[in-house]
Every structure is written in structure tokens, then in C-alpha cells.
Chains A and B, each alone.
Chain A
């Protein structure tokens, strides 16, 4: 390696622009020529179905929480296009590294609604995905999963695999060191990673404007030495398009990218939150006019590939799928007590056997040997 040829005190003229991609306007009309994959409107129907599934599952999960049958839950209401668009751009053998609001992408990747309910219902088996075995479980400590995506992508690079690691985090995550440290190392090592910011404007009660003085979140990529772009996060076509471009770049060996998907958190932060304390109803209502599900439905309807009958059939099918998942979740008994020990290490150290025994028999002591 060599030091910079340029002396650091020399005046540097650095200019940048942050592009924005959007195809469908809020009313579902086409504002820009559509990308290749979206030209056949009927090809978008699976994306629509996935967004509807996410929304119905979210609604059901919140209802379960309100009736004491699920733990705290983070609804993705209004951000379904971010998850579906990102996941639809991925290959099955790519790896998804989510925060805690990416149900849409997880479902597309093959995580089952029952697994999602199990996790939020307090059962670790919800993160033992039967589908995408290498995808990471949700990450609750904000931004701390971004470095994992860099590490996974480094593994791909070292093994010469044409795979990509894709991480999603919220707008608040861009204020954290882990975010900067991860995009920095990913870029300097040129690993095949894509970092997506689900900019839903609110980090619990703190609005986007109070997170950073930067004009955009995407421009933070420029300092790391990677491309950053903005995309209409309520337009699933735009999200998929931008993610596909970033993934193609990563797969070709040209390094990581950052995508800022601009959307809006229509629900409370979680079921433990009451957003009325800190934001105006009028703001939320205004954003309902831009939400992604109705937008795509209007487009599909305008293109005559979607009818009232199709909609009713989809809703019935999704309701059945979610109801079955709820039933399966509620019918799943808790794991035996000793399982809290059984996955701690590959082989449990002998000293913990006594604690395991004590937990199983509800002995009062800790049972140290």
C-alpha cells in the first residue's frame, strides 16, 4: 500500500450529486420509463401479493399483541415496498441481514409467517429459518448488524463466490458508528455488499431532520468512497431497480453501494409506542396518500392486469395463509427449559450441566459444581 500522493492540506474540489429514482407516482401513474423487469405489468403481481401479505401479517401481529398473544411487535406498515423490492432483487443464495422491521423482505426470502410470529412471540425457533438457512436473524441493537454484512461479503470475496450480502437498517442507524465503520471497511476492501437505509423518517420519536444535518442519508456513502443514491421507497419498482443495479455492481466485483429508500412509518415505532405523543395526525394522513400498496394496485388496475375479483381472491388467500400461521404459532408449545442451555455452545461445558439440571428440576440453588 502507499500513502496518498496528494498532500492532505491541498485544496480538494469535491463535488457530488445524489440521484433519485422513482417510476410510479403516488397515484400509480408512470412518471419515468419503466425498467426492463417492470415492462410487463403482470410480472409485478407477485411483488404486489408479497406487499399485501406483509401488511396483513403486520395487522394480525398487532392485533395479537393487543390481545396479549404476542410480544412487542414492530409493524412495517407503509414500508412494504422497501423490503419486497430489496428481496426481489436478490438471488436465493445471497444473504439478507435485516434490522427488526424487514418482515416484507424476510417473507419474500422464505422466512415463514409462523417463524416471524414465533420470534415476536418470544420463541427462538422463529430465527431458525427453514427457508433461507444462511440469512441472519433480525438485529435489534441498531446498526450493529451492518458490520456483519461486511464480514459476510468478505467471506464471499475470499471464496470467489458471486454472492452478495444485503443489509437493511433504519434512518436512525445512520447516526451510529457501526454504520460508518461498516460502509467504510466494505468500500476500502471492495466487498460485495449492499447497504439499504429504510428512511421511514422517524427513529421512534426523533425525526429524520434531528438525526443529521446532511441533506440526504445517501450522501454519507460518498465519504466512504462508494456510490450512494436515493430511491422512492414507496415505489417497489424503483426499490427493486436500484437494488438490482447495486447488486449487479457488487456481483461484478465493483464493490458496495448504499441506497436510501425514502418512505414513511405509518404505524407506531412498535406496539409499545404511541406516536401521538410526538407527531401530528395530519402528517401521517398526508403520507397515507403516498403509501406503496395502493400505489401499485392502482397501476396494475390501470394496466388492466388486476381486477376487483383478483383483489378479493388475493385477500382471501392471504387471510387464510396468515390465519394458518397464527394457528400454528399459537399451537406451538414452548421449548423445554433445558433448551436455554442446549444452544449456548456446541458442547456445553461440564460446569453448566448442574445449572441445566437445576433449571429442569426447578431446584432452588444454581447448582454450581
Chain B
């Protein structure tokens, strides 16, 4: 039994996918001999060769654009964008092409590609390296947005994303790339791309979150347990399509919900979840839905970064307030 980290699970899934399906190939900057800036592709060029592990010229737009052409021709390209701050040139290809080729050709041409990018703050990275812009992608019809929060889910969800016949944006919470290790059997088993995961069962308040914030949420839940507040923690896991059912069922049970994300507050994906609760779960609510999020500010440089990121403490405060609301 070997315990591996989240980023190692990404590597394991990539290598499994390439082993199983010769149509899978990787494109990105420094993903070859360098193994990627986070070593997510370490060892893969040695195993699969430069035809299938391709260092691209320094152009994010071309990683996506070439992937569209490859995918249309039956390949399963997986593009790596080094940091989410560099993903914006990719959006044109995702919004105008990848997400809509199947629709606009009435099924004649499809686009089974994956764009992977580490996202989020908390590792004292330089400017433009720490943002969380998942809501932008979740807004695009035809895209799937997946965010794993454990090595096991990184492995299973990435395999599912690569095998999926349509485009997937796969965002990796880099703050917890190496935070925890677990045993991940390389069994080739994919996880469903439309399911929330209940990380911790509880009866008083539901916390809904994703990515690196799951760690903060679980820490808050531990702390609150000592105070007699029983917290359920849900990892959304696939923002799109959203498994609203699991969230609604949990809130039906608890009557209280705190949504946590490190992306900015306004129009963050938490707003979508809050709206679903207002539409379908209003009568279950015993307290107003609360959101603990990043502020509506430019992501600060590392010195103020920790003041921006939602913490277990901020989350616990919101949960306490929600639990106390009568």
C-alpha cells in the first residue's frame, strides 16, 4: 500500500489513462522533461514519449486551440495550464469552440478534451498565481467543471474527465496538492462527474464547499463538534453539472447552510447554490443561507493572502451564527 498526494494522484490518473487509451495525449508548457511546474507530469515523457507528452510553445491559447483540432479528430487531449492566472487566453477556445462544436454541428464533430489547471491561493505564490475563477467556467454551457479535493477523488475524477466525450475543465486545488496522502489503488476506476460527496455527516448545519476549502471546513467542523454543533460537510466536487439533490437533501435534514469558497463573493458559484436553495429548499431553511467567501477584491500578494482566504475560524463563526439563528 502506497499513500500518495493529490498531485501524485493526478500523475497516476494521467499515466493510467495513457496506458489504457492510446488516443490520450498531454500538451502543456514544461510538462516534458521538467515534469510540469508542479511535477504533475513527472516521468510521463520518459514512459510515453514526446509524441504523447508534448511541450508546447509558450502559448496557452494554442494549447486549447490545438486540443480542439485533436479532439475533433478523435484524440483525447489533456492540456495543462500552469496557473489559473494564465488561463484567460484559453477561454476563447473553450467558450467559442470546445463547448459548442457538438451543438453547432448537430453532433457531427465533438470535442472530448480536458483542460487542467491548478487554482487557488495559500501557497505564497507570485502575482496572478492564486486566483479562483471557477465560476466563469461554470457559467459556460457545454462545459463540465470538476474540482477534486483528495488524492482518491483526483484520480477517479480525472479518469472520468478524460474518458468523458465532452470538454471538461479540471481545476486542481494546489494548496492541498501535497497536504494529505492516502492510499489510491491504481484500479482504473472513474468516479461519477455529477455527484457531490458528503465528507462528514452531521445534523445541525450543512457546509457546502469545494477544493482546498474542504480542509478548512472539516477543521471548522472538528472545532464545532467540541461545542456541540454537529456539522455536515459536502464537497461539491463537480460544480457543473451540479448535484443539487445531495445539497437539498442535506439542508432538508439540517435546515441551515453555510457555503464556503475562496473565489470572490459576488457572483461566485456559491450564489448559484444559494439560489437553488431559495428555489427548491426555502421551506427547509431555519436560518438564512450564509456565504463565507473571498472578498470582492483583487487577490492580494502573499503578505495579505491569509487575510483574504476563508479560514476555519471564519467558517466556524458563520456556522455558529447559523446554528444560533432562531
**Chain A interface (Cβ within 8 Å of chain B)?**
124-125, 127-129, 133-134, 136-137, 141, 144-156, 158, 165, 177-178, 181-182, 184-185, 188, 339-340, 343-347, 349-352, 368-369
Contacts and interface: CB of A to CB of B under 8 A. Distances in A.
Contact of A127 (B105, B166, B242): B105
Contacts of B242: 351
Contacts of B109: 134, 136-137
Interface in B101-148: 101-110, 141-142
A349 B245 CA distance: 13
Contacts of A347: 165
A149 B92 CA distance: 16
Given A351-B194, A369-B245, A150 B65 contact: yes
A343 B106 contact: yes
B105 A184 contact: no
Nearest to A365: B279
Interface centre among B25, B67, B71, B108 (most CB of A within 10 A): B108
B193 to A, nearest CB: 8
26 contacts: A128-B106, A133-B108, A144-B92, A144-B93, A144-B96, A145-B97, A146-B65, A147-B68, A150-B69, A151-B73, A152-B70, A155-B74, A158-B75, A178-B61, A181-B62, A181-B65, A182-B62, A185-B59, A188-B57, A340-B103, A345-B102, A346-B110, A350-B241, A351-B194, A351-B242, A368-B244
B61 A155 contact: no
B65 A147 contact: yes
B72 interface: yes
B27 to A, nearest CB: 9
Nearest to A147: B65
B66 A137 contact: no
Contacts of B96: 141, 144
Contacts of B165: 345-347
A352 B62 CA distance: 31
A369 B244 CA distance: 7
A169 B311 CA distance: 50
Contact of B104 (A124, A182, A350): A124
Interface centre among B75, B105, B107, B142 (most CB of A within 10 A): B105
Per CB-CB distance, the 6 closest pairs between chain A and chain B, nearest first, are A151-B69, A147-B65, A155-B73, A349-B241, A151-B66, A128-B106
A144 B65 contact: yes
B96 to A, nearest CB: 5
A344 B142 contact: yes
Contact of A184 (B57, B97, B245): B57
Contact of A128 (B107, B166, B244): B107
B192 to A, nearest CB: 11
Nearest to B60: A181
Contacts of B97: 144-145, 148
Given A345-B142, A345-B166, A147 B66 contact: yes
Contacts of B69: 147-155, 165
SS class of chain A's interface: helix, strand, loop or mixed? helix
Contacts of B142: 344-345
Contacts of B93: 144, 147
A127 B108 contact: yes
A185 B66 contact: yes
Given A185-B56, A344-B142, A368-B244, A124 B65 contact: no
B66 A351 contact: no
Contacts of A147: 61-62, 64-66, 68-69, 93
A151 B70 contact: yes
Contact of A151 (B57, B72, B107): B72
Given A147-B93, A152-B73, A346 B105 contact: no
A141 B95 CA distance: 11
Contacts of A125: 106
A182 B142 CA distance: 24
B141 A351 contact: no
Contacts of B104: 124, 127, 137
B280 interface: yes
A152 B72 contact: yes
A344 B241 contact: no
B70 to A, nearest CB: 5
B51 interface: yes
B39 interface: no
Given A137-B101, A151-B72, A153-B69, 14 more contacts: A124-B106, A134-B73, A147-B65, A147-B68, A148-B97, A150-B62, A151-B71, A155-B69, A158-B25, A165-B69, A178-B61, A181-B59, A182-B65, A351-B194
Nearest to A350: B194
A160 to B, nearest CB: 11
